[in-house]
Structure 1
Amino acid sequence: MKVKIGSSKIVRPLYDDGVAPGDAGEWVPLSVLDKVTYGEHVAIIYAFQPPNPPNAALELGLEKALASYREWAGRIGVGPDGQRSVLLNDAGARFVEATVDAPLSVSLPFGAPSPESRRLHPKIDAVVELVQVQLTRFSCGSLVVGFAGHHQIADGQATGNFLGAWGLATRQLPVYPIPVCDRGTRFAPRDPPLVEFLHREAEYKAAPARADTDVGEDEDEFFAAAQGKVKVHRMHLSKEFVSRLKARASSGLPPSRRGYTTFQTVVAHLWRAITAARGLGAGVTTKIRISVNGRSRIRPPVPREYFGNVVLWAFPRADAGDLVSRPVGHAAELIHRAVAAVDDAYFRSFVDFASSGAVEAEGLVPTADSDETVLCPNLELDAWLGINFCDLDFGNGGPFYFMPTYYPMEGSLFLLPSVLGDGGMEAYVSLFENHLDQFKKICHKIT
């Protein structure tokens, strides 16, 4: 696929009265929840059927959306107080226009993300713009939108809100939802603080003795080398398959106990199948890093419109041999307990610990480390099932395809709503090629 870049420019917020709100050059401190997540861009890819509005309309919509979600147009740096912060300087977002002189179906048959997918959004390493957008037009009239946003500015929920607002603004409708932008003050520690849980080795770890190789130094060569080692497989889980899986997982529960959720069951099944495909046995501990949205868990709840990060992680773990030999309900119970434990008390304890000065004094760094390219025997899960990513509508309906970009991190796992609209879901599984071959043989067996 030959992608021809037509233009690359900066797009700045467009205010109704032409005047930016607040003080020019204001610094907004990142919250402790912003700082503990991945300090990099996350890219997603949409595909829209024709007809589509012209690029100028999408650019104007982006300018209007940035006026409400102003932090996306700023820059991350160190504020006057020495804290990592966002400078509200309206420096703008990157806006790239591109074309492919071929139909989309021929150029990029959609399946699992591949290295070619990365041509559909700007490079995401070592860039200063907090948002980058690429519009790629194909000869058939299809439009592919590649969006990349810096994770420390927004988690999945906040990013989904922004993308929906961009679609509304493009259709000349009022921007909605209006973001709640109070990251600098919302997550204050208690007085006195109360650290009830262990946060070292959960959200934080000791800094490594030496830095790992920087992917950004030679991004193209890195992904070319990884392509032959790590493959991404898209597994479709139909509504019927999930129903049978849930029935199997919950079959051993007492009548008074509520059955396991779709999320708990599917993740349990994938955890067991991947562990078996890797050939892991007794004596090996395997765990999953599961993102947990705290908006409804914190008391009082954080508004759904909050613009920032409200995510910590659950870490269910098990002996690999025990995990595979016991039924799927056992794994579902481990996941249920671990996720339930990330409650209001846990979030409050984390805020108190992260604000205590212990992180700086001990030289701790976040365990959310994108330099880890091989996670075996562990997994990292991002579930986008409850996030409104597909609300992005530029005027002709939502996308007909949506996926994460290609990133060959062995052991990464994404769960998305099905692109088929059948009530099922898609799992994007990244494994070494020999393990993936085995995974494909067993992933649809219910045990």
Structure 2
Amino acid sequence: MAPMASSLTFKARRGAPMLVAPAAATPHELKPLSDIDDQQGLRFYRSGIHFYRSDPAKAGQDPAAVVKKALADALVYYYPLAGRLREVEGRKLVVDCTADGAVFVEADADVTVTRLRCGGFVFALQICHNMADAAGVMQFVQALGELARGVPGAPTVPPVWARELLLARSPPRVTHAHLEYHCPEQPSAAVVRPDDATLERRAFFFGPRELSALRMPQVRCSRFETVAAFVWRCRAAALRCGGDADEARIQFVVNARGLRDSPLPRGFYGNAFAFAVAAATAGELRDGGFAFALQKVAAAKAEVTMECIRSVADFNMVSERRPNFGPSAARSYMVSDVTRAGFENVDFGWGVNVYGGPATANLATFHLKGRNESGEEGIVVPMCLPAQAMEREPELVAPSKPTPRERKPLSDIDDQESLRFYRSVIYFFHHGPAGADSSSSKDPVGVLKHALADVLVFYYPIAGRIREEAGRKLVVDCTGEGVVFVGADADVRLDDFGSTLTPPIPCTGELLCLPESSSATVVDRPLLYIQVTRLACGGFVFGLQICHCLADAPGVGQFMTAVGELVRGAAAPSVRPVWARELLAARSPLRPTYEHPEYEAVADPGKDRIFPGDVMLHRPFFFCPAAIAALRKAAPPQLRNKCSRFELVAAFVWRCRTAALVYDPSDEVRFLCVVNARGKLRPPLPEGFYGNALTFGTAVTTAGELCERPYGHALELVRKAKERVMTDDYLQSAADVLVAKGRPRFTTARTYLVTDLTKARLHDIDLGWGTAVYGAPATTTLATFHMPTTNAEGEEGITVPICLPVQAMERFIAEMEWLEKTTFSGGVSERSLGLGISSRL
């Protein structure tokens, strides 16, 4: 989807305009337009432009003279085009066939119908849209070409008027809603205005790789629908269409000529189309994924039948003053498919045109045939957006060199249901000292995009796509299509985020490509999304979202370290990536050797205290060295020197959280922690393995037991949960269980799920601008993390972000304070992150 741009400027020297009348006598009559033709939204002039190279065989022939003569001849057959429109009662338009003629201008331009200095020429046409749609225009231009080449007789396709076939019925019968003529609520919200001084125009190319990447076999649709749905969703995200409840639309043209029950004869050149309209809220479009947008577009197209088009004619007749579809453009993406119109195949005798198509694209745009610099055929989509929105347009970054095309199965730990989502990690960097040869003096967007392409040569499976095979088995198809990359700018400084960053990072939606979610479709879509956001202070934010099936936290850290090494000039990563997923495949036959409560459902999951739709409150809690020392002192003597910092804090928070959620004393509650199996397997995983090498330590008890017994009881449960899974064959047993049970999710109801990131070194990343100020997940939901943090006093400790319903959070804080007073003294503090910068991003 690389943007295509040009900065060419020149001056044309125009001759005096003249009227070219039909070359022979034509009928003088009044010809009513159809009730599709004369709607308000078509009362303008549509442009088309065609470029031709010089042809030595045509030396001495003036293209302007040839085209002018052909025009006079063509108007004998298309004589209504030489007339004038008149408006009669009810704003009805009719053509007065006066044969006055069409305006013709000759011109010359000082670049290597306008003659060019190189001997080529440009043929430009502007036609009243009420007279013809794109198909009709091209029928007329093809007739011009035939006559210019000296083809004897009438045009191959004789023109047919027949506008009466698309007149309103009597009485009119409006059978469709016709959203295209109705404004959304609050049309002024998120409108792209033609007079916006910041508007930028770029063309985006969708070649074979991009089209393959977007293909979704489960949705039957055309290339047009696929690209249109993708651009609709990207455009809505780039424009930040209002709030989640605001409507965003796509409105596209469906040609009646191709409909099964079309009555239109061959040669009909009037307007024969209706608009298909798909509407969704901004929130639905954002959260529903590409498949949601594609299904909406396909469904909208399927609704356009000949009955729909007749209903448009009736609607135009009965509605006051023949309405304009323009007002519905508020928050709408308007697009037409002209890839089959034949713009690129017009010959006036100088050979086929170099380019043929619309001259401009404003708020409405087109799909055009095109080629990229490599000669690949594809679809070009011109876009017009405010500069800030244009910068958020995503592109695919492919490996910088050829990579193997193969299918690589994921392990049976990788492809469990619970890992089928995109895990975010976000990094904040200062501007850094700018040396003459330092990357910190360069644009981070360009530098990191280049390094990403290079690192994907080594991590090439990440540039592929996941496919699902029999038994829900996931494999990576190493297509080399690439990963999604977005460059962006934010009018905010790093200092505005506060002195200490912890999840949830403010305005995460502005800094990541995708909305955060604990589940997602991962099949047949990019596996990595990256957004680099330049900050007003010169620093930047690197937001990463990777399919969790590909890598766990240590794997992500290894990948990011490799990116940093290549930015700083290394030819290859110091730790070469190793796939080796077969080491964690299920055995044959399956032989689980342990019980796996992590994949067993809790009894009565409906008795949970957290439900979809609950208003959730996020608070990070910092455990300083004094707090951790106090927890260790509160532990039973036999555990004080055996427990890790993670176990001490996790047991304490689990107990407080359970009490805050007010479960019944007999309710089963669980603790689930992620345990990294690297270094614990025999034989060990090789250095460079970046897949998921994790399992879950699980503790099970009742709410009454956990909250009524001393802190040491919770600590003992947590320790045993971890110890139980740290054998060299537990992970292999987990792989067998996952396959045997159909790759289930781990349990979440009445469960505290936590991951220790204090040793993952996610924050210890240098992308050429010095070590990250912050490197960790962007958000937390019901699962959380232990993160290494330094407080304002310079003390190093552990931050635990907590997410709970509002009332439960109040009880959680009270429980923390009560336990602090009754069990030990000092050291636990709550941080409030009320930064108030949402409106500034």
TM-score, length basis structure 1: 0.82
2:426 corresponds to? 45
Match in the other structure for 1:282: 665
Match 1:442 to one of 797, 815, 825: 815
The 1:108–1:116 alpha-carbon spacing in structure 2 relative to 1, beyond 3 Å, is: farther
The one-character-per-residue Cα deviations of 1:296-333 (angstroms, maximum 9, x if unpaired) are 22212223521211112111122222212222221111
After superposition, what is the alpha-carbon deviation per residue over 1:234-265, rounded to whole angstroms, capped at 9, x for unaligned? 1111122112212222x4317xx842111111
User: Which residue of the other structure, out of 732, 742, 748, is the alignment partner of 1:348?
Assistant: 732
* Distance change >3 Å, CA 397–CA 75, structure 1 → 2: same
> Which structure would you say has the larger RCO, counting Cα contacts within 8 Å and 6 or more residues apart?
1
User: Any idea what the Cα deviations from partners look like across 1:338-383, whole Å, max 9, x if unmatched?
Assistant: 111112232232233445xx33xxxx342247xx6xx4x3211122
Helix, strand or coil: the match of 2:399?
coil
Q: CA RMSD in A?
A: 2.7
Structure 2 counterparts to residues 181-192 of structure 1, below 5 A: 181-183=579-581, 185-190=582-587
1:285, 1:320 within 8 Å by CA — same for their partners in 2?
Answer: yes
On the 8 A contact 1:45/1:146 being kept in 2, the answer is yes
What one-letter code is carried by the residue in structure 2 that aligns with 1:248?
A
Alignment CA distance shift 1:102-1:193 (3 Å): closer
Question: Judging changes above 3 Å, is the alpha-carbon distance between structure 1 residues 382 and 114 closer, same or farther for their aligned structure 2 residues?
Answer: same
C-alpha change, 1:67 and 1:108, in structure 2 (3 Å) is farther
Which of 708, 715, 718 is residue 325 of structure 1 equivalent to?
708
Match of 2:745 in 1: 367
Residue type of the partner of 1:406? T
1:431 Cα deviation (Å)? 0.7
Label 1:231 to 1:86 Cα distance change in 2 as closer, same or farther (>3 A): same
**Within 2, Cα distance between the matches of 1:81 and 1:367?**
15
Of residues 135-144 and 319-328 in structure 1, the stretch that sits farther from structure 2 once superposed is 319-328
Whole-Å Cα distance in 2 between the matches of residues 263 and 139 of structure 1?
A: 37
For 1:245 and 1:231, the matched residues in 2 are separated by 26
Deviation at 1:426, TM superposition (A): 0.9
% of aligned pairs identical?
26
User: Would the aligned equivalents of 2:423 and 2:548 in 1 still touch at CA under 8 Å?
Assistant: yes
One of 218, 232, 237 as aligned partner of 2:618: 232
**2:456 match:** 66
Q: CA deviation at 1:191?
A: 6.1
Deviation at 1:443, TM superposition (A): 2.6
Shift of 1:60: 1.4
Which of 534, 539, 545 is residue 148 of structure 1 equivalent to?
A: 545
Distance 1:378 1:90 in 2: 39
Structure 1: segments with no counterpart, 5+ residues = 207-224
Contact 2:412 2:584 in 1 (8 A): yes
Distance 1:230 1:19, change over 3 A: same
Asked if the contact 2:577/2:689 (under 8 Å) is kept, the reply is yes
Distance 1:258 1:115, change over 3 A: closer
Conserved? CA contact 1:180–1:305, under 8 Å: yes
1:277 Cα offset (Å): 1.7
Aligned with residue 720 of structure 2, among 320, 337, 348: 337
- 1:154 Cα deviation from its structure 2 partner: 0.7
Cα contact 1:164–1:392 (8 A) shared by 2: yes
Which of the residues 482, 489, 496 maps onto 1:92? 482
Residue in structure 1 matched with residue 338 of structure 2 by the alignment: none
Which residue does 1:209 correspond to in 2? none
Q: Which moved more, 1:435-444 or 1:144-153?
A: 435-444
Alignment of 1:201-280 (within 5 A): 202-203=598-599, 229-249=615-635, 251-253=636-638, 258-280=641-663
How many pairs are equivalent?
403
Offset of residue 404 of structure 1: 1.9
Residue aligned with 2:477, SS: strand
Q: Secondary structure at the match of 1:202?
A: helix
1:34 aligns with 2:414: yes
Q: Within 5 Å, which residues of 2 pair with 1:294-313?
A: 294-313=677-696
Distance (whole Å) between structure 2 residues aligned to residue 82 and residue 241 of structure 1? 46
Q: Shift of the alpha carbon at 1:405?
A: 2.4
Match for 1:240: what amino acid?
A
Tell me the secondary structure at the aligned position of residue 546 of structure 2.
strand
- Matching residue within 549, 560, 565 for 1:163: 560
* Distance across 1 between alignment mates of 2:470 and 2:548: 22
Equivalent residue letter for 1:187: L
1:311 to 1:204, Cα distance in 2 relative to 1, 3 A: farther
| In structure 2, C-alpha distance between the alignment counterparts of 1:387 and 1:75, rounded to whole Å | 26
**Comparing 338-347 with 121-130, which one deviates more in the overlay?**
121-130
2:598 aligned counterpart, secondary structure: coil
Task: Assess if the C-alpha contact under 8 Å between 1:163 and 1:391 holds in 2.
Answer: no
Q: Tell me which amino acid in the other structure corresponds to 1:29.
A: P
CA drift at 1:190: 4.7
Aligned positions of 1:131-142 closer than 5 A:
131-142=528-539
Does the CA-based 8 Å contact 1:264-1:335 persist in structure 2? Answer: yes
Q: Is the 8 A contact 1:46 1:144 kept in 2?
A: yes
Closer, same or farther: CA 282–252 of 1 in aligned 2, 3 Å? farther
Q: What does the per-residue CA deviation read over 1:59-95, in whole Å, with 9 as the maximum and x for residues that have no partner?
A: 1111122111111111101369984200111111111
Q: CA deviation at 1:118?
A: 2.3
**Cα separation, partners in 2 of 1:441 and 1:142, compared to 1, 3 Å:** farther
Q: d(CA) in 2 for partners of 1:79 and 1:133?
A: 28
1:88/1:336 CA distance change after superposition, 3 Å: same
Q: Is the Cα–Cα contact under 8 Å of residues 61 and 171 in structure 1 kept in the other structure?
A: no
Please tell me the residue identity of whatever aligns with 1:148.
Q
Alignment check: 8 A CA contact 1:288 1:315 kept: yes
CA distance in 2, matches of 1:236, 1:79: 45
Q: Secondary structure at the match of 1:316?
A: strand
Could you tell me whether the CA contact under 8 Å between 2:566 and 2:573 is conserved in 1? yes
Partner of 1:418: 789
Q: Is the 8 A contact 2:763 2:774 kept in 1?
A: no
2:585–2:732: 8 Å Cα contact kept in structure 1? no
Q: State the match for 1:220 in structure 2.
A: none
Alignment-derived partner of residue 495 in structure 2: 105
